[in-house]
């Protein structure tokens, strides 16, 4: 197929460099029902190109298809909505319909909207069930039509839901309910990764929208994040305290059930099963307390140890057997025939189902997820992945008793079957490189994958890269002298940069150690905090914009993979220089060793280090490097403060067209910065 096939759907008046090639490559893969992985840098207009290809493919399909545009951050939703608005303005015909959604709690207009996870779900469910949620009870067909009449950003949708006029009067309706109701009619749905890659969320969302996987054309933005997001979605924790709390919740629900136990035999049976579940929870807690005590005594100074999924399942079997042994002497009479000698999987599934269905009363300001549900989620992960080598369980000696954490080692087990079933997919990112690595990690088979790498449209002389060869963050070479050299480089570069400078480092600890002692006269420091909110980020962007107007500059400091190094658009030349300190390799751990061994076994020795360590670390740097250059008129200096960037282990992970200049001292980096900013101006400033 040709890129011109999607040109009528392109948001831009004329195609940018690389857009037609990207559209053509995506259409070629989509036409075969495959998944296309595009490594496309900032500036190419990849959002517009992906939408153009997907809309062209949907238009030509024999059956109606819905485009689901997935992003990892809410801030990226606005880019999609604005792009679709531009397409509509350009086409001047029937408007493309779009629904922008985030999680239910994020769209809620009730006072308990701040609660998280299962806590919110239970509060929302109780309010709806008891007919206490007025917005949920209020139907607003006019508002639903308005959602489809012109694309709305989710914030606009939520605000409009509070003031919309329906039948001549103002009615506040539930924006999440309204959005889900009309989503099945929209051509594009914008939402988070979780809507597709977390099973319980996917099943609920698609059912409510009356959609199936084969109805969907998927676009995954910032797709380099997807393998980790999928694996993190399967992470669960287990502690004796959690099981104790689960028992309390089950007991609370049981008490409510017993009050009405005489109504009919069905409820009587439910009470009997709930009683059995409570007894298992109590036995399981005692067994966990014993095993956690043993493991704490064994880990000594290592702080963690690897255990098997079979260990936890055996402990659950021990609890089941203990309850069966005393069934005839307790209120569990009648359950013995069902649970004393059944298939192990039968009673495990029954236990999980009872925990999942458990209902508890929670305070409206509570933010803790019910432990019964968390325990059910853990069992689900053990059931799905525990029999193979793709699940790693680690006992960590943190806290009073320690904890067990599950780690899925293979995102492809979750993502692969999804991409197989969809009508087609486009995965894109500026750091989806090499595409075949991400296809491997996501389980996208050779028979359905397509790949393309698109060069940056920016002239290399407008974004030179400098590597300092006298510093490193390699652990064995760290020390006061090395840290002071890093500070000297930062000071020298800031002093010779006319505008704002952003520095990204491997960790918050490193951030604190490095920046407490940095002072540059006349320069304001802004240091990222874990507690920062979207409002803090918005205020920071305003400060970055205003500082140069007043003859001032800001030294911004953040961490790789943090709020500031990914997802924030520093448009308009807000940053003149980006400094990347170190290489963020994952620290040694039981999990990292297990992950590396799994990668080695599945993808071979040659891919082991690159897939598990070096490429993810360099892609983190590439993400940070892409922050300052957002438009053709921008220019920025990139400084890498770690000599390992020029070692072959890491240099092969950079795009082949990248050229690295070298300096051996802070005086050298300062001189390079001064020369660059003297010679190269922002085009808007010329």
**SS3 letters across 544-557:** HHHCHHHCCEEEEE
3 state DSSP class of 220: strand
Instruction: Assess whether 658 and 549 both reside in one domain.
Output: yes
The whole domain housing 566 covers 460-685
Instruction: Assess whether 501 and 526 both reside in one domain.
Output: yes
For residue 267, the model assigns a pLDDT of: 57
Instruction: Assess whether 247 and 352 both reside in one domain.
Output: yes
Instruction: Assess whether 120 and 244 both reside in one domain.
Output: no
Q: Looking at the domain assignment, is residue 136 inside a domain?
A: yes
Distance CA 358, CA 369 (A): 12
Instruction: Assess whether 324 and 425 both reside in one domain.
Output: no
Instruction: Assess whether 337 and 436 both reside in one domain.
Output: no
* 22: phi then psi, degrees, rounded to nearest 5: -65, -45
Q: Looking at the domain assignment, is residue 278 inside a domain?
A: yes
For residue 239, the model assigns a pLDDT of: 94
Query: What b-and-e string marks burial along 307-342, b requiring 16 or more CB atoms within 10 Å of the CB?
Result: bebeebbebbebbbebbbeebeeeebeebbebbbee
For residue 475, the model assigns a pLDDT of: 85
For residue 182, the model assigns a pLDDT of: 94
If one counts the domains in the chain, the total is: 3
For residue 686, the model assigns a pLDDT of: 43
Q: Looking at the domain assignment, is residue 553 inside a domain?
A: yes
Q: What is the CATH number of the domain that holds 661?
A: 3.40.50.300
For residue 14, the model assigns a pLDDT of: 86
Give the end of a domain, one of 388, 403, 426: 388
Q: Looking at the domain assignment, is residue 207 inside a domain?
A: yes
Instruction: Assess whether 433 and 525 both reside in one domain.
Output: no
DSSP state of 562: S
Instruction: Assess whether 326 and 287 both reside in one domain.
Output: yes
Instruction: Assess whether 587 and 478 both reside in one domain.
Output: yes
Beta-sheet strands, E only, within 119-255: 165-166, 169-170, 188-192, 216-220, 237-238
87 in Cβ contact with 11 (< 8 Å)? yes
Distance CA 432, CA 436 (A): 9
For residue 73, the model assigns a pLDDT of: 81
Instruction: Assess whether 118 and 133 both reside in one domain.
Output: yes
Q: What is the pTM of this model?
A: 0.89
Give the end of a domain, one of 420, 438, 453: 453
Tokens standing for residue 577: 């220089």
Q: Quick one: CA dihedral 80, 216, 39, 415, positive or negative?
A: positive
Instruction: Assess whether 320 and 372 both reside in one domain.
Output: yes
CA dihedral 251, 257, 258, 262 (to 10 degrees): -160
Q: Looking at the domain assignment, is residue 401 inside a domain?
A: no
Length of the chain: 686
Give the end of a domain, one of 420, 453, 486: 453
Q: Looking at the domain assignment, is residue 406 inside a domain?
A: no
Which has the closest alpha carbon to 505: 477, 463, 472?
472
Which has the closest alpha carbon to 618: 467, 425, 477, 427?
467
Which has the closest alpha carbon to 684: 635, 639, 643?
635
Largest CA distance in the chain: 89
For residue 266, the model assigns a pLDDT of: 54
Beta-sheet strands, E only, within 430-464: 449-453
Q: Looking at the domain assignment, is residue 187 inside a domain?
A: yes
Q: Looking at the domain assignment, is residue 299 inside a domain?
A: no
For residue 365, the model assigns a pLDDT of: 42
Instruction: Assess whether 72 and 172 both reside in one domain.
Output: yes
Low-confidence ranges of the chain (pLDDT < 50): 3, 336-338, 363-367, 685-686
């Amino acid at each position: 197929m040709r890129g011109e096939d999607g040109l009528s759907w392109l948001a831009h008046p004329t195609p940018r460099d690389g857009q037609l090639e990207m559209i053509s490559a995506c259409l070629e893969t989509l036409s075969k029902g495959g998944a296309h992985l595009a490594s496309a840098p900032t500036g190419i207009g990849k959002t517009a190109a992906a939408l153009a290809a997907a809309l062209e493919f949907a238009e030509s399909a024999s059956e109606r298809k819905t485009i689901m545009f997935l992003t990892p951050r809410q801030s990226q939703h606005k880019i999609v909505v604005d792009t679709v608005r531009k397409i509509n303005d350009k086409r001047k015909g029937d408007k493309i319909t779009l629904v922008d959604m985030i999680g239910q709690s994020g769209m809620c207009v009730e006072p308990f909207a701040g609660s998280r996870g299962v806590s919110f779900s239970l509060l929302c469910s109780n309010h709806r069930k008891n007919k206490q949620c007025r917005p949920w009870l209020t139907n607003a067909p006019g508002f639903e039509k308005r959602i489809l009449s012109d694309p709305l950003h989710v914030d606009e949708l939520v605000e409009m839901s509070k003031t919309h006029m329906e039948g001549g009067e103002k009615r506040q309706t539930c924006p999440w309910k309204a959005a889900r109701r009309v989503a099945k009619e929209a051509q594009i749905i914008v939402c988070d990764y979780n809507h597709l890659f977390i099973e319980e969320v996917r099943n609920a969302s698609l059912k409510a929208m009356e959609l199936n996987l084969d109805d969907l054309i998927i676009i995954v933005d910032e797709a380099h994040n997807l393998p980790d997001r999928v694996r993190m979605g399967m992470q669960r924790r287990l502690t004796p305290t959690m099981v104790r709390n689960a028992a309390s919740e089950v007991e609370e629900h049981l008490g409510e059930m017993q009050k009405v136990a005489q109504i009919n035999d069905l409820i009587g049976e439910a009470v009997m099963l709930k009683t059995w579940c409570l007894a298992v929870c109590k036995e399981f807690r005692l067994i966990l307390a014993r095993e956690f005590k043993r493991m704490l005594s064994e880990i000594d100074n290592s702080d963690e140890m690897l255990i098997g999924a079979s260990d936890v399942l055996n402990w659950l079997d021990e609890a089941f057997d203990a309850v069966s042994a005393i069934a005839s002497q307790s209120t569990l009479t009648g359950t013995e025939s069902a649970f004393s000698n059944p298939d192990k999987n039968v009673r495990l599934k029954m236990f999980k189902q009872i925990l999942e269905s458990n209902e508890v009363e929670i305070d409206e300001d509570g933010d803790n997820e019910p432990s019964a549900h968390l325990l059910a989620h853990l069992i689900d992960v053990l059931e799905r992945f525990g029999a193979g080598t793709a699940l790693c369980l680690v006992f960590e000696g943190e806290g009073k008793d320690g904890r067990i954490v599950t780690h899925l080692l293979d995102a492809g087990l979750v993502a692969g079957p999804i991409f197989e079933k969809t009508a087609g997919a486009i995965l894109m990112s500026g750091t989806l490189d090499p595409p075949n690595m991400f296809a491997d990690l996501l389980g996208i088979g050779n028979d359905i994958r397509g790949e393309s790498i698109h060069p940056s449209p920016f002239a290399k002389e407008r974004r030179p890269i400098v590597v300092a060869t006298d510093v490193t963050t390699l652990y064995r070479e760290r020390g006061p002298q090395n840290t002071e050299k890093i500070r000297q480089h930062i000071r020298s570069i800031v002093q010779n940069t006319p505008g704002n400078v952003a520095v990204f480092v491997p960790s918050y600890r490193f951030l604190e150690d490095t920046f407490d002692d940095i002072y540059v006269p006349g320069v304001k420091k802004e240091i990222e905090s874990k507690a920062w909110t979207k409002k803090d980020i918005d205020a920071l962007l305003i400060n970055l914009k205003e500082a140069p107007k007043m003859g001032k500059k800001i030294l911004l400091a953040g961490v790789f993979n943090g709020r500031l190094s990914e997802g924030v658009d520093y448009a308009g030349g807000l940053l003149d220089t980006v400094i990347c300190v170190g290489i963020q390799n994952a620290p040694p751990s039981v999990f990292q060793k297990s992950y590396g061994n799994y990668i080695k076994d599945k993808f071979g020795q040659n891919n082991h280090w690159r897939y598990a360590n070096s490429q993810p670390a360099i892609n983190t740097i590439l993400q940070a490097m892409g922050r300052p250059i957002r438009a053709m008129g921008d220019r920025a200096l990139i400084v890498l403060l770690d000599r390992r960037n020029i070692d072959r282990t890491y240099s092969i992970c950079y795009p082949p067209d990248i050229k690295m200049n070298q300096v051996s001292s802070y005086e050298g980096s300062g001189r390079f910065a001064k020369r660059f900013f003297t010679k190269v101006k922002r085009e808007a400033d010329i």
